[in-house]
Amino acid sequence: MLNIVIFGAPGSGKGTQSARIVEKFGINHISTGDVLRAEIKNGTDLGKTAKGYIDQGQLIPDVLMIDILASVLDSFKESKGVIFDGFPRTIAQAEALKQMLAERGQQVSIMLDLEVPEDELMTRLIKRGQESGRADDNAETIKKRLVVYHSQTAPLIDWYKAEGQYCHINGLGTMEGIFNEIAGAIEKL
């Protein structure tokens, strides 16, 4: 089983590269951002709660997120593997993921850290906001999300280094070039 964590700041290209990984390696994809946006679109209670946090550039509380992740994971039967996109975003989520996988006799195979300079992240997200109309892709909310990334999410870099699962990827370049580096790292597993 391939259990891949794709990691990086907002706008680092997690979704784009996940789609390519899914295509090449035939594994399942969990994007917590996509799950939450679907809930918002469908007007569910969860969606209403999530919207309050997302519009403020904040993270959804860990207990809620961990529950969501567990139920999506349970829906993947006979899977060749999973790519986790947007989860974990806190140390508590990383510990929960480790435990959930351990209960299934599994573990994270690799954590891919897509590193992109901050000015490039801003440029990409502002452009995405203009094209897709994603409500959280505006300058003010992006700045908040980057602060949250540095304070709550970036500590996972050292956490995964300690687990021996960390792999740095240069997230700047062509989509193909970045994917080649990712595919090379996965093939070495």
Answer yes or no: are the C-beta atoms of 185 and 110 closer than 8 Å: yes
Rounded Cα gap, residues 39 and 44, in angstroms: 6
**Residue 156 to residue 160: CA distance in whole angstroms:** 6
Which of these is catalytic: 20, 98, 124, 134? 134
Q: Measured between alpha carbons, how far is 103 from 93 in angstroms, rounded to an integer?
A: 15
Which residue's entry shows tokens 């999973």?
Answer: 82
**Catalytic (active site) residue 144:** no
* Residue 29 site contact among Mg ion, ligand ATP, none (CB < 5 to 8 Å, cut-off depends on kind): none
Q: Which of Mg ion, ligand ATP, none does 65 bind, CB closer than 5 to 8 A by kind?
A: ligand ATP
81 is in the binding site of which of ligand ATP, Mg ion, none (Cβ under 5 to 8 A by kind)?
none
Stretch touching Mg ion by CB under 5 A, among 14-22, 98-106, 115-123, 157-165: 14-22
Q: How far apart are CA 117 and CA 171, in angstroms?
A: 9
Please report whether residue 11 would count as binding Mg ion according to CB under 5 A.
no
Site for Mg ion in 33-92 (CB under 5 A): 33
Shortest spacing between CB 78 and ligand ATP, in angstroms: 25
Helices 139-148, 118-132: inter-axial angle, 10-degree rounding = 130
Confirm whether 124 is a catalytic residue: no
One-letter identity of residue 165: Q
**159 is written with which tokens?**
């956490």
Task: Rule CB under 6 A: say whether 89 interacts with ligand ATP.
Answer: yes
Cα 25 to Cα 8: distance, rounded to the nearest angstrom: 21
The residue within the footprint of ligand ATP, chosen from 4, 86, 166, 182 (CB under 6 A), is 86
- Residue 11 interacts with ligand ATP (CB under 6 A): yes or no: yes
The answer to whether 29 contacts ligand ATP (rule: CB under 6 A) is no
Which spans of this chain sit near Mg ion (rule: CB under 5 A)? 15, 33
* Active centre residues (catalytic): 14, 89, 128, 134, 145
